[in-house]
Structure 1
Amino acid sequence: MVALCIQLLTLLVVCAAANENKYITYTFKAWNMGDKPLQEQLAIVYKEMENLKHEQAVMKQKQDAMSQVLPHCPQKPLDTDVELNVTSLQSGQSGNHLVNKWLSEVEDDEGSGDDEFDAGLDPCNHYKALDQAWRATNYTTKRVVCDRSMKWRGWYRLFYRGKTIQMPEKCVKKEMCGTHSPLWLAGGHPRIRDGIVTRKVCGNWKNNCCLFKSHPIQVKACRGNYYVYRFVKPVACHMAYCADINTLVCGRCRKSESCISRDKITWMCRRNKRRVKANVHFFASYPGRISGKVSRIVYRKVYVNQGRAFNSRTGIFRAPVSGVYQFFFSSQTWGGGVTDLWLVVNGYWVAVSHNNVKGPNSVGNLSTYMTTLRKGTRVYVTHNRGRSWANSASNNIVFGGSLLMVRKV
C-alpha cells in the first residue's frame, strides 16, 4: 500500500514538472522509512502530498503574475473550434502601463514573407484565400483568437462564406471579430493605379481606437473590386485582422463600377467616370456651291473625326467633355457681293467669316474662335448670305476644331 502511494506521488511530481515546464527536485522522507510501522508511513506520505499541493499552488500564483506582465500567445496555429483561455487582454488589467510594457518587450517578427511572392508575381493573381466567418465585424468573442499565433506567409484575400470582403477602414468595437482587440486598416485602401502600398493597422481597446499600433501591412487593389493583403504577426495577443461585413456589396460591383462609401459604413457600387483625354479633333469640308441663306451647313466630306464628336449627317459638333476648344471655318466668295458665315454655339452667333468682293473676283476667308464649352454644347456653321463655292478637289468651305484641354466649367 505504501509503495503504491509513493508511486502515485512520484507520478504527480513528474506531471507537475511537465505541466509547468520546470524541473522539480523533491526528496521524499517516506523512501527512508521502511523500518517504521505502516500507519506512521502512511501519515508521512499524506503529509508529503499536502506539501506538494502547496508547492503547486505557489507555482500557479507565480505563473499568473507573469501572465499579467508579459504577453502570452500559443505557439501552435489556432483551431477556431477550440475555445482559448484569455491570458492577455482582460478588463481588470491596467491600461497604458501594460500596453507600453508589451510593446517594449515584444519580439520583432521578421521573416514572415514568402519567397514565392518576391519573384515578381502579381499578388492579385497569386494569393491565399482567408475565409473565416469569425473575422466578420458582427462576430462576437465567443471563441477568442489571436493572429499572433498564425504563420503568415505571402498575400491573402479576405472572404466571408465564399464572398469577397475587405478590411474595415473605421474603428471596430472591442470584443468583435472573434478577438479582444480588433485590427482595422488606418489610411484607407489604395486605388489600382497606386500599386502596392503600406498601411498602418490599429487595434481598439479601452475606448481608444488606435491604442494598439500593430505592425504595418502591405495592400494592393485588384481589378474586380477586391484587395489582397500581406499580413504580419500583430504585436501581442489577443488581436486579429477584421473583415468588414458591410463591404459584401462590393463583391457584386461590375468591372465598370467602383465600391465607394462616404461614412465607411454604408457601401455602394457606382459607375466609374469615363476619363476623356484631350484627344478630340475634327476637320470636314463642303465640296459644292452654296447660295443664299442656309441655316446649317452639312459638311459631307469628313477627313478627321477623332473622338467622334462631329456628326456628318447633321453638321453639328457636340462637346464630349467640358474644356477649352478652338474652331476654324472658311468660305470662298465668287461672283462679287457680300458673303457671311457665322459660327453658332448653342444658338448664339459668336464669330463671322465676312467677304465683300467687287467684280468677278474670288476671295477666300478663314476665321478662328477659341472658347470654353460645357459638356454637350452644340456648335455648327450657318451660311447667312452671299455665294460660296468649292469642288471635290478644293477645301474652300471647311469647318474644324480641337479640344485643347479638359477643364471643369
Structure 2
Amino acid sequence: MLTHADERQHREDDLMDDQQLNRELNDIAECYVKLVLAIGLHDPFYVDAFYGPEIWRLECKELTLTELQQMAKAKLSCLNSLNLSCIDAKLISRHSFLHKQVSSVDYYLSHLQGDKGSFDVESEGLYDTKSKKFGLCSFESIQDEIDKLLPGEGELAERFEQFRAEFIVPQNKIPVVFEASVDKARALTGVHIELPHDENFSIEFVTDKIWTAYNWYQGNYKSLIQLNQDQPLYIERCMELASHEGYPGHHVFNLLQERELVRSEQWIEYAVYPLYSPISFLSEGSANYGLSLIMSQQEVIDFERDILMPLAGIEGDIEKYHKVLACYKKLAYLDNLVCEQLTDGHILEEDAQNLLIKYGLYTRSSAKQRVKFYLSNRAYVINYNHGEESVARWIEKDGETRKLEHWKRFEALLMRPLTASQFKV
C-alpha cells in the first residue's frame, strides 16, 4: 500500500520525467526549425512562414540535400528513442506533431533529390493522408443539375460563364468590397475567439501568380494577404477569401499558434511553417471550413445582396446564383482527379486543361492557371477539399448542432493542431 510520501515521490518523479522530455523535445524542435530553414535555401517556396530567432535564418548554411536528409533521419531516430511511458498527454501530442512534421521533411528531401512518388504516395508522405477517389461520371451528374438551372443554347460552360459574369466585382471596386468582407469576418470571429488587440493584416494586390490569394504570416500577430488580379473576382469569393485568408482562417490559425504554443509553451517548432507538410492539411481544411462556421448560407446571401453588391455596383439574382454555386462546388474533387492524372503522367497539360473546361466549367484562362498550380504543388490540392471535409466531420461529430460547441472545437483544433491521421472521425 502506497503512503502519502510514496504518492508524492511518484508525482515528483513524473514531473521530472515530463521536464526532461520537454527539454529533449526543445532540442529536437530547434534542429527541426533550422533544418526547414536550410531546405528553404534549396526551395524558395518551402518555408511559408518563420518568426523565430532571426539569427537562425542569418546563420543558416547551405548544406547538401544528402546532408540535410541525414540530419532529418537522425532527428527521427531521436524521436523514436524517447520514452513516452507515464508522460503528460500534452507532451505526447507535441512529440506526435514533431514526428509527423520531421517525417514529412525526410520525404520531401527524397523528393528534391529526384525520388518523386505517385500522387497518393506523396499525399501520405507529405500530408499524412490520401483523398478519396471519384470517376469522371460522378461529375457528369452534377453538370446535369447545373444544366437544369441554366437552360439555353450553347455549351454549358459558356452559359455558366455568361451567367457568372453578372457577379464579377469591377476592378476599381475590389478594395472596398474586400475590406467590407474582412470587417464582417473579423467581427463574427471575434465574438467567439479572443483575438490579440494588436493583430492585423495588410492587403496587397498582385499579378502573375498561380494562386488566387495568399496569406504570408509575419509574426507578432501580423499577416500580409495578397490578392491576385489575373482572374476576375466574383462576388462570392470576397467572403470566401476574407474568411479563408483572414478570419477565422490562416491569419487566426497562425496567430493562435504563436500566442498559445510559441509564446506561452515556448514550443519553437510552431514558429516555422514548411508548406509541404502535414500542418497544411489542417491549415487549408480549417480555412475552407471557416465561412460555414461564421455564417449560414442564407446569411452569406443576405450580406452579399444588402452590402457587397451595392458596394460593387452589381445587380443580379443572387438567390439563383447561389443555387448554381451550390451545385458547382460539388465539382471540387475534380481538382484531385485531374491533378493526380497529370502528376502520375497519365495525361498532358493540355489534356488537364480540357478536363477542367469540360467537367469543371473552367474558362481556358483559369484552366491554364490551375494546371500551373498542379505542376508546382502536385498533391497539395487534397488539403482544400479533403481537408475541409475532414475538419467538418471533426467539428460536427456526434451529430452536434450547437454552433457554440462547433466554435469551441474549432478553436481547440487550431490551438493544438492535429495531423490528418490524428483527427479521423
Short-chain TM bin? under 0.3
Q: What's the TM-score once normalised by structure 1's chain length?
A: 0.18
Q: What's the TM-score once normalised by structure 2's chain length?
A: 0.18
Greater share of helix: 2
Query: Which of the two has higher C-alpha Rg?
Result: 1
Higher RCO (Cα < 8 Å, 6 or more apart): 2
